Amino acid sequence: MSELGKLEDLPLDYRNNLTAQNLVPLWPALRAALPHGIPSRNTKPMVWKYSDIRPQLMLAGELTPIEKAERRVLVLANPGLGLENMQATPTIYIGMQLILPGETAPNHVHSPSAVRFVIEGNGGFTAVNGEKMPMERGDLILTPSGLWHEHGHEGDGPVVWLDALDLPTVFAMEASYCLEGDPQVIRNQPDASQTTYRRSGLVPFAGLHQPRNKYPLKRFPWSETRAALEDLATVTNTGQPVQLAYVNPETGESCMPVLGFSAIMLRPGETIAPVRRSSSAVLHVIEGDGQAVVDGEELSWAENDTVAVPTHAVVKIRNTGKSPAFLFQVDDAPMQQKLGFFEEFPE
């Protein structure tokens, strides 16, 4: 391989003329754009501790009324990517949102897609296009692009959830925007996870062969996911990941187009070494204590902590506790797959 020419190899007046004409020579920048073998990554493998976040979030509750915030959120920003860019990984936005009793986070709709993963509290709800979904700890709730959504709190004490959005991608595409609207007219009936899509493998017969709603199921109750993981664990060898993906029950495809969501169970003392992937990810601890080694960086995690995993990273995850541990994973594999470059690298 021959060495590429540097910018300084070019005469200064030639470089200045190029700049004046908004032209850039590729060859001095080619290797930075296309490194050999593995992408260059600025994402720092790291953990955000909930014990650090929670007090700051509660202070935000005292300092900023909901009317002044619309959404009261502290964003988990990866310092390797620049805090102001609000990226946990290059494609994944993560925030922790607080809502207090009686508050409403007003109705709006936007081009980025979001999900909520409930961390603590009782009495919270999200309404999506009139469907009211209770927010119980560990529930996953989808608010896909283009669907009106608002949050409320009818209980006591703080309610906190994790927001995951494809905002970095949509923003980079100069396609991120929102509209505000009047409060929704909320239907007085249980959400689809309790009615039309009660059980996986069973979907409403009516309209089966007609194009359907792109997002039939928007709430995945944790009680169901946790039980499914425990049952899967009974037929999974130790060291093999016990992992379930949240999918569209009509198509079996990832439930959202850009980001993918899954849940992992680690048995007491178990270590898993998930296959190395081209996608980036965020791991959020639902229950348990453990350690992760991400590209050689040793990270300890406890309940409600959140870990950033760069693209192409070598990952080991260990449950150091005496009870099962459960993790919620967000990754950008669905987008990478659609763009045609998703890869797995088996050892």
Give the binding site for ligand 1HN (CB under 6 A).
71, 73, 95, 97, 105, 110, 112, 114, 149, 151, 163, 165, 167
- Go through 273-312 and write b for each residue having 16 or more CB atoms within 10 A of its CB, e for each that does not: ebeebbbbbbbbbbbbbbebbbeeeebebbbbbbbbbbbb
Q: Do the beta carbons of residue 326 and residue 288 sit within 8 Å? A: yes
Angle at 186 between CA 184 and CA 189, to 5 degrees: 160
Q: Please, which residue, 150 or 305, has the CB nearer to ligand 1HN?
A: 150
Q: Please, which residue, 98 or 265, has the CB nearer to ligand 1HN?
A: 98
Q: How far is the CB of 233 from ligand 1HN (least distance, A)?
A: 33
Q: Is 28 helix (H, G, I), strand (E, B) or coil?
A: helix
Q: Is 56 helix (H, G, I), strand (E, B) or coil?
A: helix
d(CA 5, CA 24): 13
Instruction: Give residue 67's identity as a one-letter amino acid code.
Output: E
Q: How far is the CB of 93 from ligand 1HN (least distance, A)?
A: 6
- Terminal C-alpha separation, the chain: 27
d(CA 58, CA 290): 26
Q: Please, which residue, 112 or 249, has the CB nearer to ligand 1HN?
A: 112
Distances 284 to 37, 135, 145, 164 between C-alpha atoms, Å: 29, 17, 23, 11
- Report the sign of the C-alpha dihedral through residues 222, 227, 232, 234, in that order: positive
Q: How far is the CB of 318 from ligand 1HN (least distance, A)?
A: 32
Q: Please, which residue, 102 or 268, has the CB nearer to ligand 1HN?
A: 102
Q: How far is the CB of 141 from ligand 1HN (least distance, A)?
A: 10
Q: How far is the CB of 96 from ligand 1HN (least distance, A)?
A: 10
d(CA 30, CA 42): 18
Q: How far is the CB of 41 from ligand 1HN (least distance, A)?
A: 24
Q: How far is the CB of 99 from ligand 1HN (least distance, A)?
A: 9
